[in-house]
Amino acid sequence: MPCIYCGSEWIIVTKKMGIKNKTCSDCRAIQVKEHTKYHNLQDEAKELIENQKYDLAIKKLKESKQLRIDSTRFYGKLSMGHYYFTYQFIDKLINMINKNRNDNSKMIKLWDELFESLKIGD
């Protein structure tokens, strides 16, 4: 079975990923790097909110969203949870920022509550 991204026959299969991981080691390294980057962008967005740099925070969230969309080249279709986060949750964060620009403490509280709501079932 070839890598779903580059077509290389040298795929890696790990116990953790099982048959879900259909990439070669080079593409897997890119995938992991991008995954880390979109999480870091989200963290940077929160820091920017804390410093009242709302437009930059929104820009970081949009970059994170685009990286998540681009990652489908490695995974194929997004799972239901990743689809929700990419296409709905990030937009919810952006809307929350736009609606609460005059109340930074409320915005930070809402940010934390929104992320906490994702942990249902842990």
pLDDT in tens, 28-73: 888 889 889 999 999 999 999 999 999 999 999 999 999 988 887 7
- Res. 79: pLDDT tops 80: no
Nearest alpha-carbon partner for 6 in 52, 74, 65: 74
Residue 50 token pair: 């804390």
For the ranges 22-26, 41-45, 78-82, 102-106, the lowest mean pLDDT is seen at: 78-82
Q: How many whole angstroms separate alpha carbon 30 and alpha carbon 103?
A: 39
- Domains of the chain, by residue range, sit at 33-117
